[in-house]
């Protein structure tokens, strides 16, 4: 980057015929030297995202909750803030036996 010697503003390349000069964006100052411009861009490789397809039931707590589908008495439990921050979070349950998922809004 280059800045104007008169006003301190950013200077940009301006083409006049076959020559390129640096010109101020605010005042009329121009450098008289012919300028060669080189654009460099560094692109870093994207990180790979690992997709985990295995279920992590062993990290969810197991609670006493009756499954509405198979009437089993134990279910895994987790909660998510699905609505506005001033409203209570939604509780999700997953049956230990049949893997049925349901939610509780209370």
Catalytic residues: 86-87
Q: Distance between CA atoms of 79 and 93, rounded to whole angstroms?
A: 9
Could you please report the per-residue DSSP string of 42-81? --PPPPPPPP--S--GGGSPEEE---TTT--SEEEEEEE-
């Amino acid at each position: 980057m280059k800045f104007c010697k008169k006003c301190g503003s950013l200077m940009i390349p301006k083409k006049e015929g076959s020559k390129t000069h640096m010109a101020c964006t605010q005042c009329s100052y121009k450098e008289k030297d012919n300028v060669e411009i080189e654009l460099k861009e560094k692109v870093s490789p994207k990180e790979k995202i690992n997709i985990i397809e295995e279920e992590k039931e062993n990290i969810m707590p197991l609670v006493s909750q009756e499954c509405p589908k198979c009437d089993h008495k134990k279910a895994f439990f987790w909660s998510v803030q699905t609505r506005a921050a001033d409203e209570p979070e939604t509780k999700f349950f997953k049956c230990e036996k049949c893997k049925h998922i349901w939610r509780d809004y209370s």
